[in-house]
Structure 1
Amino acid sequence: MSDVTQLLAAWRSGDAQALEQLTPLVYRELHRLARGAMRGERPDHTLQTTALVHEAFIALADAKVDWADRAHFYAIATRQMRRILVNHGEAHRAAKRGGGMVHAQLDEALDVVGTPSAEISDLDDALQRLEAFDARKAQILELHYFGGLTYDEMAAVMQLSPSTIDTELRFAKAWLRDQLA
């Protein structure tokens, strides 16, 4: 068992000191995930990568989750970052009262939708529809686009082979392209 997994188990068991020991161990990886999530955001985005890490970590620290292992922790962290970015985008758009729509230029999503930008809330809506249809494909897309995970990392999180990840991701991209077209 990795140090992170052991500390997650101790934290889950009520050891508050485990959270203090866990924080520096996961911070760098959370920052990498946040950079991946922010990669496609507009250049003038007001939420910085470090702030995204902090907001996500606060939410994770308060969450009542039965952490299975480090991969589970990072998968939930990726989902939390997505929620924060979607909420931030919706708040920004609401503040503008419909003007100055927020565009998230997600690197690979650009290839998928074939347009110069994709509305983050439209992408989130499409992911929610995919989740209702096929939760595994939705989670793979989420880990890939918002988490910036590699095929091997996604395979570890999802407990699937990299070739299965490739097949599922190709299908999910095609489905997303159809939904956002």
Structure 2
Amino acid sequence: MVFVADELTHLMRRMSAGDPAASEAVWSTVYDQLRAIARHQMVTGPKGASLHPTMLVNEAWLKLAGKEVAWSDRKHFFLLASQVMRSVLVDAARRRGAAKRGGDLHLIDVEIDLMPGGGTPFDILELDETLQRLAVHSARMAKIVELRVFGGLDHAECAESLGCSLRSVESDWHFAKVWLYSELAP
């Protein structure tokens, strides 16, 4: 079932108002997109993650559906979905570290294409902390990294989601990659 953006926005607003039928319709509409994002994460993101794409989507959906949010539109939904997926992956890394009782918290790596020629693996918890520091300097740059790395969005989708120009996203992404590499590289 394919919905145009306006129909999905209408369903999200009904879901925000507590309509369970709308919640089910939103779930069936966005499930494939969320699963594609999660699959993207398993391929290009966390290495050794204990979460299967379906588990990541289901856990993210439970957090999304349980939030008291007035969904404004599709863009708002996917912005929050990227944040929630990041949170789920970070929580999974923390749980795995806690399960080891002080063991290696660096079990889940995230690979980011920061340098020409391929991705560079980074610890997801270290990346999360670094993104928090980046957000102090530029919230938009941190959000672009989050959308690209955890949400699987391309430059154009980031620009649309954030309401800024494609050129701004490209410029911010370039700067953020350089900054992240300088902060995370051994």
TM-score, with normalisation over the residues of structure 2? 0.88
Determine if contact 1:89/1:102 at 8 Å carries over to the other structure. Answer: yes
Over the matched positions of the two proteins, sequence identity in percent amounts to 36
Shift of 1:103: 3.6
Give the number of equivalent residue pairs. Answer: 178
Counterpart Cα distance in 1 of 2:20 and 2:158:
29
Counterpart Cα distance in 2 of 1:162 and 1:17:
36
* Greater relative contact order structure (CA < 8 Å, 6+ sep): 1
Amino acid at match of 1:101: H
SS in 1 for 2:132: helix
Q: How does 1:62-101 map to 2 (within 5 A)?
A: 62-96=66-100, 97-99=102-104, 101=106
Q: How does 1:33-112 map to 2 (within 5 A)?
A: 33-39=37-43, 40-43=45-48, 45-96=49-100, 97-99=102-104, 101-109=106-114, 111=115
Query: Could you say what the CA RMSD is over the residues aligned between the two structures, in angstroms?
Result: 1.9
Counterpart Cα distance in 2 of 1:130 and 1:60:
25
- The residue number in structure 2 matching 1:117 is 121
Amino acid at match of 1:68: S
Determine if contact 1:151/1:162 at 8 Å carries over to the other structure. Answer: yes
Shift of 1:116: 5.0
Are 1:135 and 2:139 counterparts? Answer: yes
Determine if contact 2:147/2:158 at 8 Å carries over to the other structure. Answer: yes
SS in 1 for 2:47: coil
Where structure 2 has 5 or more consecutive residues not aligned to the other structure, the ranges are none
Assess, with a 3 A threshold, how the Cα gap between structure 1 residues 116 and 23 changes in structure 2: closer, same or farther.
closer
Assess, with a 3 A threshold, how the Cα gap between structure 1 residues 180 and 8 changes in structure 2: closer, same or farther.
same
Assess, with a 3 A threshold, how the Cα gap between structure 1 residues 116 and 166 changes in structure 2: closer, same or farther.
closer
Shift of 1:105: 3.6
Assess, with a 3 A threshold, how the Cα gap between structure 1 residues 54 and 92 changes in structure 2: closer, same or farther.
same
Where structure 1 has 5 or more consecutive residues not aligned to the other structure, the ranges are none
